[in-house]
Amino acid sequence: MNPQQSSQWDGLRHFSQTVPGQTERLFYGGVTSQEINDRQNDRIGMQHWAQEGIAGRGVLIDYASWAEKKGIKYTTFSTHQVRLTDILEIAKETNITFQKGDILFVRVGVTKEWDTVMTDAQKQAYSDNPAPEHAGVEATEDVLRWLWDSGFAAIASDAISWEVYPPQSPDIFLHEYVLAGWGMPIGELFDLEALARSCQELHRWSFFVASVPLNMPGGVSSPPNVMAIF
């Protein structure tokens, strides 16, 4: 089973980064690719997250609904970008005040488009495309600084790669910093449709989140096994 084919937490073994003064890319905590490839080594595997789970206050930035109200048209299978200014404007409109330790969810509409708009032929064309495009949060230094300064415990989205893909800047790929640098979980392909409906009905965009990843020694990723409680 490949847990990265559907809703998933990207674990710390998923991404490495360049390090000044080093010729080899390193994973979180200085773990090397040799350690990752060693089947007897389970450093920074999913089993650590499984011990206590991922739990805390979640907040939803429903970009898809906001963009629809604004008349912003896009397909989530493109390089359409969710700007930091958009996120902050949505937070203001929905009375969200970010707090240290929050789990940030950003809905861009992938699940809705895949389930209700795309034809079988379009889905097959996407599957066959060697260079797919994915809408997501813009990858900029301002976004990185905002994520760090906000003190989020984790970030997640219904987007395929959370951030826009391919990277629009050759210098910044958020995964490198968030996973390999900070050790922060990234959730992708979460089905946020029911959550968005509940938030709209309750006029409340914060909730308690409880997630129990797989207890998989050396695991790279995991289904989220997550619920939101109001």
**Encoding tokens for residue 211?**
């997630």
Average pLDDT across the chain, whole number: 96
pLDDT at 20: 81
On whether the CB atoms of residues 64 and 112 are closer than 8 A, the answer is: yes
Pick the range with the lowest mean pLDDT from 3-12, 97-106, 123-132, 215-224: 3-12
pLDDT level of residue 126 (50, 70, 90 thresholds):
very high
Alpha-carbon gap, residue 163 to 77, rounded angstroms: 12
pLDDT at 54: 98
The residue with greater pLDDT, 167 or 137, is 137
Rg (CA), the chain: 17
Looking at residues 44-52, what average pLDDT do you find? 95
pLDDT at 41: 94
pLDDT for residue 110 is more than 90: yes
pLDDT at 3: 79
On whether the CB atoms of residues 46 and 28 are closer than 8 A, the answer is: no
Alpha-carbon gap, residue 157 to 8, rounded angstroms: 10
Alpha-carbon gap, residue 164 to 157, rounded angstroms: 12
On whether the CB atoms of residues 27 and 36 are closer than 8 A, the answer is: yes
The pLDDT tens digits for 179-226 are: 999 999 999 999 999 999 999 999 999 999 999 999 999 999 999 999
pLDDT for residue 27 is more than 80: yes
The sheet with strand 8-10 has its strands ordered as 221-222, 8-10, 186-188, 154-157, 103-107, 54-62, 206-211, 226-229
pLDDT for residue 48 is more than 90: yes
Alpha-carbon gap, residue 202 to 124, rounded angstroms: 37
pLDDT for residue 2 is more than 80: no
pLDDT at 18: 86
DSSP characters for 152-170?
-SEEEESSSSSB-BS-SST
Alpha-carbon gap, residue 130 to 46, rounded angstroms: 29
If you classify domain 8-229 with CATH, what class do you get?
A: alpha beta
Alpha-carbon gap, residue 77 to 126, rounded angstroms: 8
Single-letter residue type at 118: M
pLDDT for residue 67 is more than 80: yes
Pick the range with the lowest mean pLDDT from 16-20, 59-63, 98-102: 16-20
3-state secondary structure of 27: coil
Looking at residues 94-111, what average pLDDT do you find? 98
3-state secondary structure of 209: strand
Alpha-carbon gap, residue 138 to 144, rounded angstroms: 10
pLDDT level of residue 171 (50, 70, 90 thresholds):
confident
Cβ atoms < 10 Å from Cβ of 185: 24
Looking at residues 127-152, what average pLDDT do you find? 97
Single-letter residue type at 96: I
**Encoding tokens for residue 206?**
């914060």
**Encoding tokens for residue 38?**
């060693």
On whether the CB atoms of residues 207 and 228 are closer than 8 A, the answer is: yes
36 CB-contact burial (10 Å; exposed 0-12 / middle 13-18 / buried 19+): buried
